[in-house]
Structure 1
Amino acid sequence: MWKSRFCRLIALQVVGTFGLLTYLHLATTSNERDRETLQKTQKEYDNVDFGSQVSQAEKVAGLGAHQYLVNTSSSKREPETLNKTNNTYGDVRLGGKWSPTGNRNSSSGEKMAILVTFRDREEHLKIFLSRMHPFFQRQGLDYTIYVIEQHGEEPRFCKGLLYNVGFTEALKDDPSYDCFVLHDVDLIPENDSTPLYTCAKSPYHLSVAVDKLKYKLPYPGLVGGVLALSTSHYKLLNGYSNLYCGWGAEDDDLARRMYKHVLRVKRPDRAVARYHMLPHGNHTKNPEKYFLLFNGIRRAKRDGLSNLHTMNHTVTSITRKALYTHVLVNVTKRNAINTHMKRADVKG
């Protein structure tokens, strides 16, 4: 009796191991399979006939590890593979490109590059991609998402520099972009009842009402969060300053450049432009932001796109992934702005 029981357990282990190996192979090659295929495979494995002599408890024990892998595997996948297992992204083309079906012209008539800068925000990026692709498509936009990621020795986040790199690389990729949306990775629109994303004729500040800020604009000159700029306006402003690293003031510097060039910032209605901010930790502050901001207009012509090639950074790689084009930027350690540099800047 015990020998027969032992043989059944051995058979159960062999079949279970084979099933697990089959599933693991499917999981690691999921970028070539869709959700329906994986569900079918799971169902077939769940219905394996282990023989009438095997108890229900033994069958549950043999399938337990398999079911655990099914339930937890999606949280460990890379963001760009999510569209292979969840058919919620339409026909997004390689590199994160999408346009209205059968019509290269978007509802706004603009070809749009969405620039998203980030560092160490992988979870935010996953949420952003899963929410924003369907959102942009419902709005009928002709768009491409570019994710500009910082790495390297510089511990502070250099957002302005990254936006300038993203703008430059996107135009190399496709010179026909006429609208750029500068988008924080942690801001998600709450509704899409009204067309929202467009460059219009003026700089267009979209993140007017953010939940964390009690849906109020903190001050009239704010342009950070989500901002739409035409290609010509971005070039006119010489882009962002490259000198801000750490939290604060780079967007205010850009707003002053707009004021200098008499570009009036427009905003949609606060009832429409409502955003949810994803939770995140504290930012590393920039102790030099006030000095940089005070002298920002004086530097505007020579600090931005015009001197990007002189900044200590390297574009490590540009990769077309399933849901976005990934621009990886190595930023080397930066020295603090010393007294000599400050004096020279003041004279300039």
Structure 2
Amino acid sequence: MNAIDAKLENLISKLDSSATNDIEHNTLTLVLVLRKYLNVFLDLVQKVFLIYDLIFYRYIHKKIGSLLNSNEFLILIIYVIFVLTHIPDLELTKSFTKQTKTKTLTDTVFGEQNLLRTRISCSDTVTLDERDKQFSRLKSEKYRLFDQFYIFNNIKNSTNNDNINIYNMKYELFTKSNDSKQLVEFLNKLKFCTLKSYSRNFDSKSIYSDRKFNFKSLLKNSKNIKKSKFKFLNPDSVNLKSGGYYKPPLCFQEYLYYHTSYDNLLVLKSIMDDYRTTKDFSLENLIEKLSEFTYGIIRDNFNSIAQRNSISKFVKSKEQDLSVIIIPMLNRESNLLDLMFNLHPFLQRQFLHYKILVVEQDNSRDAFNKGRLYNAAFFYLLKNYKIFGVNDQIYNGTKELNLNCLILHDVDLIPESDYNIYGCGDSFVGYYNDEMPRHLSLSIRSENEKKGNTNYSRNLYELLVGGVLSIRPDKYEKINGFSNEYWNWGAEDDDLAFRMIACATCITRPRDEHALFKMSKHRPSSQNINRENILLGSLRRHKVDGISNFEKLNLLFVDEEHKSLFTHIRVIVGRQSDDY
């Protein structure tokens, strides 16, 4: 029996690394499982006969003998005991077999390219100075900035009763006649930015079925959003422009956070805390104190050439560096609407300079190809924005913005923690890990499950990069973008992970408790039955399949429209049968 088991296991391991269809694999797996439990089953039969002898004739026969004869009762005992004691083990065995198959497939992909690295997570860490421990300046820890220096939930008579409030400072009370023009101009750009709330975990809102407003019409609206439509989500609708473009103000708190000493930050926090703990305080007095304190620091900074250069770099980065959230979709209107209503306020609470780009597959009756949509979005952005390290030497467009970050975003994932920092890091803050892609969607709860589900399922495997991923455009170009060969659902993100490893690109991740998402309700996606076979050859073709051959494919940009909540482009991605 053991020899047969060993041969079957050996056969399955060989089939895992070859082009075996699912039916053949499942059949062999079932044979192996049945063989494994045959000995146990025979032992059970012996025990059942004992139970039959002790129980049936002495007790049960008297009670139900008229309903079942002895042979039927014997079969019933065998069936019930076997099911109750071994079906859970059978399910575990099936699960183990699937995991073994996945692992073997992964090892095969790595083995073909002789890759020694089998992890995608970055092992490099940034060592912080002792003074930075409390106010960590890492991009991934930027939520500390908002917690410490933005939250004011006791400001009365705010300008618009929204979650985000922007106030002018009063530097004119303290500037001197001999202050330089550049100093005064910079001071006038800095604002006092406040938030009423900033949460480690919150429940996103589903509004597609809400009948109070005609929310569906907003997906088609091309005018600026009316405040009443967005009021219950508290966005900064004043600065939200057509095309889903948002340019935040320059907040003096962020400048000081990165350009002054730890001791000065303690003083600033002390000033703010005095007002946070006061029930009735004068907002005007607070702004005056903050203006005087900030003016003194910035005036000193202007006396240093290095500091003046850092100020110039800060302004250029905040005003010109743009993050674009790319959302590929096909027949997911309800998911898109829920995402828009939650994503805009979420990004604005982080004061991110962003634009939302929805790239929709126009040939809706054909198989979905997410990779081609992402690559189409990249080519669209390449023609419209300057991208450092990609087209900055030849770009001759009219836009002054620099495309600093791509955020690849599934349409059905909604963020549920303000501590999950979007973007690719600010260019005026240089850290190694900020240059690497960042996988943001680690812990997900599904709306497809029972109502009110609050249990988050953690990242299932180390190579997972799908869902929501921030990546710099030059890194996207370096790995040759997504493969164009995956149709419907499955393995296109794993292919991307292999590309990153092959191109010496690792990823960073936030903490599990910060990377929280809700998967909004939708019908199951059609699976790609050939995904594993395509994945086996991913590294052999990753240099010739992606951005590099995108323009040879049968694609067509159909339309571009700047709507209220996003910029919408429609693309015919071709069909599975006629790629070239």
Tell me the TM-score normalized by structure 1: 0.72
Is 2:439 the partner of 1:210?
Answer: no
Which deviates more from structure 2 when the two are superposed, residues 105-114 or residues 231-240? Answer: 105-114
Q: Provide the residue aligned with 1:158 in structure 2.
A: 369
CA pair 105-322 structure 1, distance change in 2 beyond 3 A = farther
Deviation at 1:170, TM superposition (A): 1.8
**How many Å separate the matches in 2 of 1:194 and 1:180?**
16
Q: Provide the residue aligned with 1:121 in structure 2.
A: 332
CA pair 214-195 structure 1, distance change in 2 beyond 3 A = closer
Map 1:125-274 onto structure 2 (within 5 A): 125-152=336-363, 155-175=366-386, 176-193=402-419, 195-198=421-424, 200-212=434-446, 214-274=456-516
1:277 to 516, 519, 522: 519
- Which deviations, in whole Å up to 9, do the C-alpha atoms of 1:89-116 show, x marking residues without a partner? 5221121111212577677995211100
Deviation at 1:73, TM superposition (A): 5.4
Q: Provide the residue aligned with 1:83 in structure 2.
A: 225
**How many Å separate the matches in 2 of 1:275 and 1:72?**
26
8 Å CA contact retained: 1:312, 1:331: yes
Give the aligned residue type for 1:125: L
Deviation at 1:224, TM superposition (A): 0.2
- Which deviations, in whole Å up to 9, do the C-alpha atoms of 1:152-191 show, x marking residues without a partner? 1652110000000011102322222021000001111112
Deviation at 1:264, TM superposition (A): 1.4
**How many Å separate the matches in 2 of 1:106 and 1:74?**
38
* Structure 2 residue matching 1:86: 3-state secondary structure: helix
Q: Provide the residue aligned with 2:240 in structure 1.
A: 92
* Structure 2 residue matching 1:318: 3-state secondary structure: strand
**How many Å separate the matches in 1 of 2:423 and 2:573?**
30
8 Å CA contact retained: 1:204, 1:228: yes
Map 1:7-156 onto structure 2 (within 5 A): 74-81=214-221, 83-84=225-226, 85-87=228-230, 88-90=235-237, 91-101=239-249, 110-152=321-363, 155-156=366-367
Q: Provide the residue aligned with 1:48 in structure 2.
A: none
* Structure 2 residue matching 1:322: 3-state secondary structure: coil
CA pair 282-105 structure 1, distance change in 2 beyond 3 A = farther
**How many Å separate the matches in 1 of 2:420 and 2:484?**
35
Deviation at 1:76, TM superposition (A): 4.1
**How many Å separate the matches in 1 of 2:503 and 2:368?**
27
**How many Å separate the matches in 2 of 1:266 and 1:322?**
33
- Which deviations, in whole Å up to 9, do the C-alpha atoms of 1:121-170 show, x marking residues without a partner? 11111111111111111111111100000021652110000000011102
Deviation at 1:324, TM superposition (A): 0.8
* Structure 1 residue matching 2:354: 3-state secondary structure: strand
Give unpaired runs (5+ residues) of structure 1. Answer: 1-70, 342-348
* Structure 2 residue matching 1:333: 3-state secondary structure: coil
**How many Å separate the matches in 1 of 2:420 and 2:438?**
15
CA pair 222-126 structure 1, distance change in 2 beyond 3 A = same
**How many Å separate the matches in 2 of 1:336 and 1:284?**
20
Give unpaired runs (5+ residues) of structure 2. Answer: 1-210, 252-314, 387-401, 426-433, 447-454
**How many Å separate the matches in 2 of 1:305 and 1:83?**
35
CA pair 117-294 structure 1, distance change in 2 beyond 3 A = same
Give the aligned residue type for 2:242: L
Q: Provide the residue aligned with 2:559 in structure 1.
A: 317
- Which deviations, in whole Å up to 9, do the C-alpha atoms of 1:263-304 show, x marking residues without a partner? 111100011111111011111111221111100111111111
CA pair 189-290 structure 1, distance change in 2 beyond 3 A = same
8 Å CA contact retained: 1:153, 1:331: no
Higher relative contact order (CA 8 A, sep 6+): 1
**How many Å separate the matches in 1 of 2:461 and 2:494?**
11
Q: Provide the residue aligned with 2:529 in structure 1.
A: 287
**How many Å separate the matches in 1 of 2:403 and 2:503?**
22
8 Å CA contact retained: 2:404, 2:424: no
8 Å CA contact retained: 2:325, 2:354: yes
Identical-pair percentage:
34
